[in-house]
Amino acid sequence: MAIDAKLVAALEAERGVEHTEELGLVSAESIKRYAAAVGDTNPLYTDSAHARARGHHDVLAPPNFIAAVITWGAGGAYARLREDGTEADTHLPGVPASGVRVMGGGEEMTFIAPVVAGTQLSRSTMLMTVTERASSQGPMLVVRYRDHYRDADGESLMQTIRTVLLR
């Protein structure tokens, strides 16, 4: 599949449709591992006692942690992974699993409230806009998605706008 009317129609059908998923628990362990991987030694992320002394229930997640997790949960069986190793579910509603080249076009994160270890996280994803654009390598689509992250009480934690380029 290339950039054609069928793909545009599939994307347009997703515009404004919200998909909500329960992502599961943000554990202190996962936060501490993430901070260690980044090399960030901020004690709010790495030291539960320090975070509690500052009035938090437990460690806080570094700002882009929840947006950076590619797979929440166990992930698919090996036979279901694609040639490049990625999961078949691309978290891009309207984009087919193969035949389209997907490139990152940037991310804009708005931090509403801190994500504390112990949070049960959900994410609502919605395709916002589809724009056709000419490029030197032929037609391209610019697609913007909004991810809204909330806790179990429905309180907003973070919102991110992801832009992907399809060719």
The least distance separating another protein from the CB of residue 158, rounded to whole angstroms, comes to: 10
Angle at 86 between CA 80 and CA 90, to 5 degrees: 90
104 lies in the binding site for another protein (CB under 8 A):
yes
**Footprint of another protein on residues 33-92 (CB under 8 A)?**
33-34, 36-44, 54, 62-64, 67-72, 75, 81, 84-87
Angle at 134 between CA 130 and CA 140, to 5 degrees: 45
24 lies in the binding site for another protein (CB under 8 A):
no
What's the rounded Cα separation, in Å, for the pair 103 and 77? 25
Structure tokens at 100: 């389209």
Backbone angles phi, psi at 165, to 5 degrees: -110, 130
The least distance separating another protein from the CB of residue 128, rounded to whole angstroms, comes to: 15
Nearer to another protein, 15 or 56 (CB): 56
The least distance separating another protein from the CB of residue 69, rounded to whole angstroms, comes to: 5
Count of CA atoms in the C-beta half-sphere (13 A) of 24: 8
For another protein, the binding residues (CB under 8 A) are: 30, 33-34, 36-44, 54, 62-64, 67-72, 75, 81, 84-87, 104-111
